[in-house]
Amino acid sequence: MTFGASHYPHSALDGLRPIALRVAQASLDLRGGGRTRLRLVNNGVAMRARAKRLLALLSLVLLAGSAPAGRVLPHDAYVWQRRWTPALTQALTDSAPLIRSWRVLAAQVDAGGRLRLIGLNRAALAASGRPVVLVVRLDSHLSRAAAATIPGQLRDLLLEWRGPIAGLEIDFDCATAALPFYGRMLADTRDQLPPSVPLSITALPTWLGSPHLQAVFEPVTEVVLQVHAVQNPKAGLFDPAQARRWIDTMNRRATRPFRVALPAYGARVTWTAGGRLVAVESERPLLAGGDDARELMADPMAVAGLVADLGRATPSRLTGFVWFRLPTDSDARAWSPGTWRAVLRGDHTLNEAALATEPAEMPGTSDLLLVNTSARDASLPATVALPDGCAHADGINGYARDGALLRRRQEGFLRPHDQRRIGWTRCQTLPQEASNAAP
């Protein structure tokens, strides 16, 4: 997909017009009386050479104005884990060289306005050497009466922190109709915070069409636009084409610098038989019932493609990315740290899991395995071809038989140095071919 001048702010294009005019006037001789006339060059060869140089300069100007210029954008990461395990501490240490700042979940506020602190490992954060932005998550059903207490509670939170702080972020997924109310709460919050503390918020794509958007943006220093997990879960966690459209709309409407929140995780979504959403399970296991469950996972290559696209043609107000959430070695529903750090470094390759077989407990039967021997996540093949005439075979762990194939039924990938049993077969010859073609 190509993004031309129509996706760039008109003010930036207007700024190029005086430059083009100055280039054109470089070959003009301005004499007295405000009268302009061409400087005549007796040497016809010199005149043609000058004309060629002028055309080349004009071409460069026009090319510069045809699309936004690319920029290197920094990366932040959300530390959203509520348990500070050794794996989380190690992830802070290992990933710090690639990160501009941590955005750490510091407190949650329930619908009644009660603020509950999250136990943080301040020593680990300090040892990482990266600035810390405290994030407070507000319940989306926060009452307006309870909201009146929020500015004072946030002021007290900062006073109690008693350490270096790079900012405060409010995460409030309010309905679009509640944006005027949210804007007033943010204005009150800004008035009560120290002027030196930057205030940021997360924003939803559904807000972008609201006439009240500027009232929400006006009191804050910057905005983080969330482009993952904001649609019906049946559509998946992340759509790069839709995310780019939201980002371009945000760039046109924003009056503040903004960052984009990107996914590096997966989730298990459960529905009832009637299609009602029951639960979304990610970093914390939930004891939720349901008749239909699906594992969703953000595709590293799809997210990396958007990052590369935005690096080539960067919207004027976009200042960086914020990743949700910091991957750790123990987080089974997130990318592996190795895969995530490779994407941050601009390495957009993903390994493929290898197909292997081994004898099963039942004589004459073989188990089918996917094996990843690398230090990064490996993609799961879409299909595994069964040998001709193989009547006895089936799939498990996200694979099911479909004629002469075992077909992947769920998204995901294989963790580093891991293996997964995906089926069994009792045939004279063993499967040899796995394919990553679309299932």
Per-position DSSP letters for 54-105, written without gaps between them: HHHHHHHHHHHHSSPPP----EEEEE--SS--HHHHHHHHHHGGG-S-EEEE
Q: Which of 256 and 294 is assigned the larger pLDDT?
A: 256
| pLDDT tops 50 at residue 341 | yes
- 167 or 38: which carries more pLDDT confidence? 167
Residues of the chain above pLDDT 90, percent? 67
| pLDDT band for position 204 (cuts 50, 70, 90) | very high
Token output for 33: 């009386």
Give pLDDT tens digits for 121-161: 999 999 999 999 999 999 999 999 999 999 999 999 999 99
Q: Is there a contact between 121 and 132 (Cβ–Cβ < 8 Å)? A: no
The neighbour count for residue 416, using CB atoms within 10 Å, is 17
Residue 353, pLDDT above cutoff 50? yes
What is the model's pLDDT at position 289? 52
Q: The whole model's pTM is what?
A: 0.81
CA-wise closest residue to 270 among 246, 295, 302: 295
Q: Per-residue confidence at 234, pLDDT binned at 50, 70, 90? A: confident
Of all helices (H) and strands (E), which one includes residue 264? Answer: none
* Number of CB atoms found within 10 A of residue 194's CB: 10
- Which residue did the predictor score with more confidence, 79 or 22? 79
Residue 157: burial class (beta carbons within 10 Å; 0-12, 13-18, 19+): middle
Q: Is 298 helix (H, G, I), strand (E, B) or coil?
A: coil
Ranges of H-type helices in 254-316? 300-312
Least confident stretch, 29-33, 98-102, 379-383, 434-438: 29-33
Q: How far is it, in rounded angstroms, from Cα 313 to Cα 324?
A: 23
